Structure 1
């Protein structure tokens, strides 16, 4: 049933056969293409009352409805990095999707270059990284001693990293993904065959909610030390690729990656930040 504040577009013959994500610009012009695709991913843009993919070609006479009750007025992804939590040893900094953790030669400024401005000191150094499309907490150690302390805690399995994840398909029970991974290829991780004996390289997943219409499951994923692309690769190899993962899953370029590092906890320090797609 349409809500009073929903926005609609009755598609004319002149507008017909365009992609849904393009036609949404007529309804929510304040959102970028990425923001409009996020609406589609969240099931808030309907065609004749049914969710459709971003590339769906809308026919003449069909009605597009955008649910506006909790639709953001602008792109949350446009927000920049900020300090989530800090003490005399560590600082948890929010990295938005689309920003590199580390500056690349010829590739623009990364989060690391902003640490002196954000933290007011020049000895801060990142001790974990997030992929370019992943949002959430990146930890900075404030000095060499703090970095050494973090490495000891991480190697002892005392650093717990919790992620919010949205995956394709239905995940019904908590599972520990133990598959050993080969990270030697810098572009894409592959399975080695067999399970890893190291719990620091395992991924624990727990279903939080299932959307039967879109056939997607919201998960909580927990890793300890972790490895490059570990959560993305483990879930894809478990036949539940992350929504928006163009490297390990079936989604097209332009969709956002629904992977967010939302909580980091270790002795004496804890930081938490919700994803912008909650």
Structure 2
């Protein structure tokens, strides 16, 4: 059985929400790795961040998602009007997201990845670089630290587009898959970490009511 299927979905214990910011318009939460952002299909997949959030904030609604294995900042709207307003900010690229990842190998300096992505149908839910039919995808990256003992690099990642698995597929295409990635990492890089070492660490946006800048930080747990 493939390790990236949901047959063995065992979400982390519900120990309460980790609120990073909350007001009458929106919520910013720290999603743990291993928890779905929204319910999965079928029985046994109802436990997810939005369900947990709605127990405390019944008007909470989804604006965007993080992969189940990814941890970090997730933005929720308070009510349908704010959901529309925040969705427009995402559509207009007024929301800036930054991630921290640990990748295989020595990756120095900084760079830009402009590789279109499309579905890898025989290997769903994987994505693949598709130069002919893929959708444009843009990721910037910057090296933070090289761990020579474990031959891995800590990097910052800035996605400028929001394709499915964009950061994971782009880092694999660069030759430096994210450690612990059951979809894109070869066996050695998969075994090098107990979870996907990808974390949404910073989110910046104008407040949908006041326009004041919000800049939320959440350090990675790895």
TM superposition score category, shorter chain reference: 0.7 to 0.9
**Gaps spanning 5+ residues in structure 2: where?**
1-11, 208-213
Deviations 1:68-107 (A, max 9, x none): xxxxxxxxx7665321112221111111111111122313
Alignment correspondent of 2:198: 259
| Number of corresponding residues | 197
**8 Å Cα contact 2:179-2:193 kept in structure 1:** no
Q: TM-score, normalized by length of structure 2?
A: 0.81
Alignment correspondent of 2:112: 176
Aligned counterpart for 1:106 among listed residues 43, 46, 49: 43
Change (3 A) 1:254 1:263: closer
- Partner-residue secondary structure (3-state), 1:157: coil
Change (3 A) 1:226 1:242: same
- Partner-residue secondary structure (3-state), 1:140: strand
Pick 1 or 2: higher relative contact order, CA cutoff 8 A, min separation 6. Answer: 2
Alignment correspondent of 1:165: 101
**8 Å Cα contact 2:17-2:53 kept in structure 1:** no
Q: Map of 1:1-278 to 2, 5 A cutoff?
A: 81-104=17-40, 105-108=42-45, 109-119=47-57, 122-183=58-119, 185=121, 186-193=124-131, 198=136, 201-250=137-186, 251-252=190-191, 255-268=194-207, 269-277=214-222
Q: Which runs of 4+ in 1 moved over 6 A?
A: 194-197
Distance 2:30 2:111 in 1: 28
**8 Å Cα contact 1:133-1:257 kept in structure 2:** yes
Distance 1:215 1:177 in 2: 22
- Partner-residue secondary structure (3-state), 1:148: helix
Q: Is the deviation greater in 185-194 or in 138-147?
A: 185-194
**Aligned residues: CA RMSD:** 2.3
Change (3 A) 1:271 1:195: farther
Structure 1 residue 225: Cα displacement: 4.1
**Gaps spanning 5+ residues in structure 1: where?**
1-76
Structure 1 residue 218: Cα displacement: 0.4
Change (3 A) 1:152 1:88: same
Bigger Cα Rg: 1
Alignment correspondent of 1:31: none
